[in-house]
Amino acid sequence: MGSLLKDRRAVALLLAATLTVMSNAIISPGLPGIATYFAATPNADLLTRLLITAPSLTVAVIAPFAGLLVDRVGRKAMLITGAALFGLAGSAGLWAPSLHVLLATRLVLGVSVALLMTAMTALVAQYFHGPERGRFMGLQMTFINFGGLIFIAVAGQLANHSSFYPFALYLAGLVYLPILYLCLDEPKSHSHEDGSHPTAQGQDGWPVVLGLGLALMALTFSTFYILPTQIAFYLGELGHTDPSTAAFMMVCVTFAAGAIAMVYPRLRATLGRGGVLGAGFVMLAAGFLLMSYVQLVPMIAAASLLVGMGPGLIVPTLLNSVLDAVPMRHHGMASGALTFSLFIGQFISPILTQPLISTGGFHLAFMVFAAAALVGAGLAVAIFRERTSGFARA
């Protein structure tokens, strides 16, 4: 890991990765206050929850096109454009005069995230190869989640003063611009496609690996995102109305994901890809199962820790597995597809959750999503591991 932190390209990409965790969850602590402020707006409860996942819809629409464009317009240029738009659109919540305008700015924010994530994934695929890429992705998850821990903790404190102050944190996208410009370089368009790297030509049956990876990514985030979209409301129902309490739960989530990512390479070597994926989904299920039965803040925090560990294992495993399998000439397309899958899962999460909450309360919603995560664990172990056995140690 130390050698990666000496690489200016790696450092720049790690900083850019911290932006992605802010795209949605950073405003979670202020959601009840925003809902109250715009209470006169029709359907304010649902629209307020959609503020978190609205960027995901735009990402899902834009990402496939961004994946096709990244190989043509350049990875570095796309990343810098995404960071600039992130800062401008994200911070627009400071001045948006209505809930509908605020929702529109969140959709624009999604465009920036699609550019950022697609360009980042494609740059990682060309800068790093084999075991080094696996180490970088583990480190990237650590930066994403510990960066998210800091940003969300600060957001919780800002939300105590105004529900809209957390939007100021999106200005970090503008702060990072000089670093990204100076530290990154544009890879040659046909770099490493001469077969000198194992991943240059891809693996047999790579479309199957890609399809399974996309399905599991969508399942992961449609399940996981019940926490940032609903935790503040769940805590309020239990009488814990302080925004900092909701922020604390999100801090638990990001801390757990960052901590588990630090030991990801060791777990990966011990359990294999299918085993790591299965463990991640089991942790998601255990977290929601526990949360469905507890009401005390310490126990909810423990459940949040379990939920956070899931994506910390699942995401780097899926990304690395797909990039290893897909031929390098298709990495842009694969990056866009993975980004689409991740964010469409986020977007549909409240749409799936809200009817469950209306029907049977939070208990029913948590139980259903726990069951869905267990299905994901079974698929990962029984199918994904078998399909990728030929490069399980890559």
Q: What dihedral angle (degrees, nearest 10) is formed by the CA atoms of 287, 292, 296, 297?
A: 40
Confidence at residue 2, expressed as pLDDT on a 0 to 100 scale: 55
**pLDDT-based confidence at residue 368 (cuts at 50, 70, 90):** very high
Task: Of 32-41, 59-68, 95-104, 236-245, give the lowest mean pLDDT range.
Answer: 59-68
The pTM score is 0.70
Is the pLDDT at 198 greater than 60? The verdict is: no
Q: What is the pLDDT of the chain when averaged over all its residues?
A: 82
Task: Of 1-5, 88-92, 314-318, 321-325, give the lowest mean pLDDT range.
Answer: 1-5
Which residues have CB under 8 Å from 100's CB, separation 6+?
41, 47
Confidence at residue 203, expressed as pLDDT on a 0 to 100 scale: 62
Are the C-beta atoms of 328 and 194 separated by less than 8 Å? no
Confidence at residue 204, expressed as pLDDT on a 0 to 100 scale: 62
Which amino acid would we find at residue 174? L
**pLDDT-based confidence at residue 201 (cuts at 50, 70, 90):** low
Q: Which long-range contacts (CB under 8 A, 24 or more apart) does 262-265 make?
A: 262/138, 262/142, 264/137, 264/138, 264/141, 264/312, 264/313, 264/316, 264/317, 265/134, 265/135, 265/138
Which amino acid would we find at residue 234? Y
Is the pLDDT at 115 greater than 70? The verdict is: yes
294-320 pLDDT, tens digit each: 888 899 999 999 998 998 888 888 887
Spell out the alpha helix ranges (H) of the chain. Answer: 2-5, 8-25, 31-37, 44-73, 75-90, 99-127, 131-161, 172-175, 177-183, 206-224, 226-237, 243-262, 264-291, 297-325, 331-379, 385-387
CA angle 281, 347, 297 (to 5 degrees): 60
Residues 337-342 have a mean pLDDT of 83
Confidence at residue 150, expressed as pLDDT on a 0 to 100 scale: 82
Is the pLDDT at 86 greater than 60? The verdict is: yes
For residue 74, the 8-state DSSP code is -
Q: What dihedral angle (degrees, nearest 10) is formed by the CA atoms of 315, 317, 321, 323?
A: 50
Tokens at 291, concatenated: 């949360």
Confidence at residue 367, expressed as pLDDT on a 0 to 100 scale: 93
Is the pLDDT at 392 greater than 50? The verdict is: no
